[in-house]
Amino acid sequence: MRLELEAKTFGPRPVLGGLSLAVARGERLAILGPSGIGKSTLLRILAGLDRNYRGRLDGADRLAVVFQEPVLLPWRDAVANIAIPTGCDAATARDWLAQVGLAGHEAKFPRQLSLGQQRRLALARAFAAGPDILLMDEPFASLDADTAARMLALTDALLTRSGAGLVLVTHDPREAEALHARPLLLTGQPAQLQTRPQND
Ligand SMILES: Nc1ncnc2c1ncn2[C@@H]1O[C@H](COP(=O)(O)OP(=O)(O)OP(=O)(O)O)[C@@H](O)[C@H]1O
Among candidate residues 156, 191, 193, 146, the one with its CA nearest the CA of residue 177: 156
Residue partners of 147: CB distance under 8 A and separation at least 6 = 116
Q: What are 181-197's pLDDT values in tens digits?
A: 999 999 999 999 987 55
- Give pLDDT < 70 ranges for the chain: 196-200
What totals of helices (H) and strands (E) does the chain contain, helices first? 6, 10
* Three-state secondary-structure class, residue 112: helix
d(CA 35, ligand 1 centre) in Å: 8
Residue nearest ligand 1's atom 25 by CA:
35
The alpha carbon dihedral of 115, 33, 19, 28 has a sign of negative
Strand partners, 134: 64, 166
How far, in Å, CA of 165 to CA of 23, rounded? 7
Residue nearest ligand 1's atom 9 by CA:
41
How far, in Å, CA of 152 to CA of 9, rounded? 33
Per-residue pLDDT, 200: 42
Residue nearest ligand 1's atom 17 by CA:
40
Among candidate residues 72, 62, 42, the one with its CA nearest the CA of residue 133: 62
**What's the CATH number of domain 1-62+131-200, 3.40.50.300, 2.40.50.140, 3.30.1490.270, 2.120.10.10?**
3.40.50.300
- The preferred substitution site among 9, 13, 41 for testing ligand 1, maximizing ligand atoms within 8 Å of CB, is 41
In this predicted complex, what is the ipTM? 0.96
Per-residue pLDDT, 196: 59
Among candidate residues 162, 164, 63, 81, the one with its CA nearest the CA of residue 117: 81
Cis amide bond preceding 190, omega within 30: yes
How far, in Å, CA of 19 to CA of 9, rounded? 14
Q: Does the beta carbon of 192 sit less than 6 angstroms from any atom of ligand 1?
A: no
The one-letter amino acid at 21: L
Range 66-87 burial, b when 16+ CB lie within 10 A, else e: bbbebebeeeebbbbbbbebbe
How far, in Å, CA of 2 to CA of 22, rounded? 4
